[in-house]
Amino acid sequence: MTSLKGKWALVTGASSGIGMAAAQRLAAAGANILAVARRQERLEELQRQLTAQYDVTVDIHVLDVRDRTAVETFFASWFAGGHHLDILLNNAGLAMGKAPVQEGDWQDWDEMIDTNVKGLLYVSRSVLPHMVSRNSGHVVNIGSIAGHWVYPGGNVYNASKFAVRALGEGMNMDLLGTNIRVSNVDPGACETEFSLVRFHGDQEAADAVYKGFEPLRPEDVADAICYVLQAPPHVNVANLVLMATAQRGATLFAKEKPQTS
């Protein structure tokens, strides 16, 4: 087993959901955390909570992964300051809308592609050279079952997560011969702020997604992330797919029927 104690883990999208749960699990395992996202107050609260609970260092930085200059500048100064990173958790991501392509919203499309694909690339491009120079590191990309199966209205989100899957495979090939491992963790429906964001703040629409079955919790995905990170150094979990027991495909749910009186 690989110990996480004393390692430095960058978590993108640490202000909510899977990223926040992963930061908590990693800190509990003794890892120092560099948490980034756009919402400063959330990051500050996470920093307070983790440093009160665990004997680890938690640094936070407000960062929009879509902003290439900001990403480049921040990581250049982080590494110039003598810091390093052992773990990169590329988690920041979102779905926006569920309209058919012919009615799709251009802004939603840009936001998904800029965050899920280009943002992941900007961060990886900034961090990987330092892992390569140390011949050490582990990248975990959070994809989705949406990167395995397309579903109606998923179009651009699906495309972005198929891209994440391709990038995970590509990174593994490009890093052949190094000790750097790349693992894609692909969850199914997980109850976070994901659907609230997707439906532009419509709480009722978001709640309906998780009604009638027990979805994954962010902690379940965080456990899977810790599993791949803690695998022995000669083991590279290239792809881990996890779903709720009541989900068996992108649109296949065993949902309880609503009670009728």
Ligand X SMILES: NC(=O)c1ccc[n+]([C@@H]2O[C@H](COP(=O)([O-])OP(=O)(O)OC[C@H]3O[C@@H](n4cnc5c(N)ncnc54)[C@H](OP(=O)(O)O)[C@@H]3O)[C@@H](O)[C@H]2O)c1
Q: How far is CA 140 from the centre of its chain?
A: 8
Give the separation between CA 92 and CA 107, rounded to whole angstroms.
Answer: 18
Which lies closer to ligand X via its Cβ, residue 75 or residue 194? Answer: 194
SS3 136: coil
Task: Kindly state the smallest distance separating residue 52's Cβ from ligand X, in Å.
Answer: 21
The question of whether 157 is a catalytic residue gets the answer: yes
Question: What amino acid occupies position 76?
Answer: A
Read off the tokens for 17.
């959901």
- Three-state DSSP class for 54? coil
- Report the nearest approach of ligand X to the CB of residue 245 (Å): 15
Q: Which two tokens stand for residue 196?
A: 């609230």
Active-site entry in 54, 122, 151, 157 = 157
Report the nearest approach of ligand X to the CB of residue 64 (Å).
4
Pick 132 or 196: Cβ nearer ligand X: 196
137 or 143: CB nearest ligand X = 143
Residue number with CB closer to ligand X (42 or 83):
42
C-beta atoms surrounding 191 within 10 Å: 18
Q: In angstroms, what is the minimal distance from the CB of 226 to ligand X?
A: 16
Token pair of 11, please? 């978590």
Q: How far is 74 from 254, CA to CA, in rounded Å?
A: 45
Give the binding site for ligand X (CB under 6 A).
12-13, 15-19, 37-39, 42, 63-66, 91-94, 115, 119, 142, 144, 187, 189-190, 192-194, 197, 218
By annotation, the residues acting in catalysis are 157
